[in-house]
Amino acid sequence: MRRRIPYLGRVWETVDEWQLLERIARRVPKAGDDCAVVPWRTTNLLFTLDMLHRTTDFPTGTTPYTIGWRSVAVSLSDIAAMGGVPLAVLLGLSVPEFDPAFTDEVLSGAQDCCMAAGSELAGGDLDSSEELFLSSCALGECARPVLRRGAQPGELVCITGPLGATAQALHLMDDGQAEAANTLLRFAPRTSEGQRISKVASSMIDISDGLAHSLHLLAEASGVGFRVESERIPWVPGLQDPAFSYGEDFELLYTVPERLHRPQLGTAIGRVTNSGVYLSGPDGVPPLPDRGYSHGR
C-alpha cells in the first residue's frame, strides 16, 4: 500500500517510527541530534543523511528542479540546526528512467540550493528503482555545535521564521498555482542564520517534524519544559488551517538566555520551564501533545 503524503500534519495512528528511532539512538550513541558530530583535530565535522521518496516527500506538481533543491536543502538544514558551516553535499538519485533532461533539472536545483547556502554539490550516486528515491548527505564543520540538549529554565524559546510554508505550498498546488507552490517549496536552508544563532543559543533543532514534536524533542534532550504563547507564533501569510503538527518546515527552533536574545535572529514564542510542554492561549494553558510528521503508515 502506498503511504499517504503526510505533509498536512495529520496524526498517525502509530508512532512506531519514533519508537524505532529511539531504539536506534540507544544503539548508535552519536545519532539522535540533527547531525552526527565527529570530533576531529581541533574542531568537529558534522555529517547528516536524509532519504526522500516521490510519493512521500514531493506532492504532484513538484518540478524536478524543486525536487533537487529541496532534497539537498533538507540536509543543509540539519547542518544549519547545529550552527555548522556547510562544506559539501552529495546527492544520490535512484530513478525509474535514465532521463538526462530530468536528472539535469534535478542537479541544477541541487546545485543552486548548495550555492545559496555557500556550499557545493560534490558528487553522489546513481541507480534505478521503480519509485524516484533520493539520498542527500551534507558535510559541515563547527567548533562548537549547538545540540538539542542545553536549554535552561527561564530562557526564551525562539523560531527563525513562520510556520506552514509546506502546508501553504500544498494548498497552492491544489489550487492550480503550481509555480507559486514550487517557489514556496524551495526554502533557503538557514545556514547563515544558524551560524549567527550558534553564538548565543543553548539548544537548537530544525522543525522538520513539526513544531509540537520538535519542542518535545528539545524538552526531552534538555530535561526541561516549554510554555509557548500561541499568539506569538508566526504563520505564513494566507494559511487557512494553522496546525502545530505541520511537518516539513525547515525553520530553526532554539533557546537563548534573554539577555542574549536579538529579535533580528528570531521571534521569541515562549519560555523554557522546568517540565511539560504547554501552549498558552485564549483557551488557557493546555498541554501541547507530542504530535507531528512521522513516516508511519
Q: Residues 105, 116, 124, 289: which binds a second copy (CB under 8 A)?
A: 124
**Which own/partner contact pairs does 100-104 have at CB distance under 8 Å and 24+ positions apart?**
102/64
- Grid cell for residue 268: 521569541
Integer-rounded Cα radius of gyration of the chain: 18
- Grid cell for residue 284: 488557557
Q: Does 183 bind a second copy (CB under 8 A)?
A: no
Q: Residues 4, 125, 199, 286: which binds a second copy (CB under 8 A)?
A: 125
Q: Between 126 and 260, whose beta carbon lies closer to a second copy? A: 126
Q: Between 47 and 250, whose beta carbon lies closer to a second copy? A: 47
Beta strand spans in 168-222 (E)? 203-206
Q: Does 135 bind a second copy (CB under 8 A)?
A: yes
SS3 content of the chain, % helix, strand, coil (to 5): 30, 25, 40
Q: Does 111 bind a second copy (CB under 8 A)?
A: yes
Q: Does 40 bind a second copy (CB under 8 A)?
A: yes
Q: Which positions ≥6 away from 264 have C-beta within 8 Å?
A: none
Rounded distance between C-alpha atoms, residue 190 and residue 233, angstroms: 18
Q: In this chain, which stretch among 61-69, 103-111, 171-179, 279-287 interacts with a second copy, using CB under 8 A?
A: 103-111
Q: Between 32 and 281, whose beta carbon lies closer to a second copy? A: 32
C-beta of residue 230 within 8 angstroms of C-beta of residue 279: yes
- The amino acid at residue 177 is Q
Return the residues of window 3-32 that contact a second copy according to CB under 8 A: 3, 16-17, 19-21, 23-24, 27-28, 30-32
Q: Does 36 bind a second copy (CB under 8 A)?
A: yes
Rounded distance between C-alpha atoms, residue 208 and residue 84, angstroms: 17
Q: How many CB atoms lie within 10 A of CB 231?
A: 8
Q: Does 92 bind a second copy (CB under 8 A)?
A: yes
**Residues interacting with a second copy, by CB under 8 A?**
3, 16-17, 19-21, 23-24, 27-28, 30-32, 35-38, 40-41, 45, 47-51, 53, 56, 87-88, 90-92, 94, 98, 100, 103-104, 107, 111, 120-131, 133, 135, 137, 139, 141, 295-297
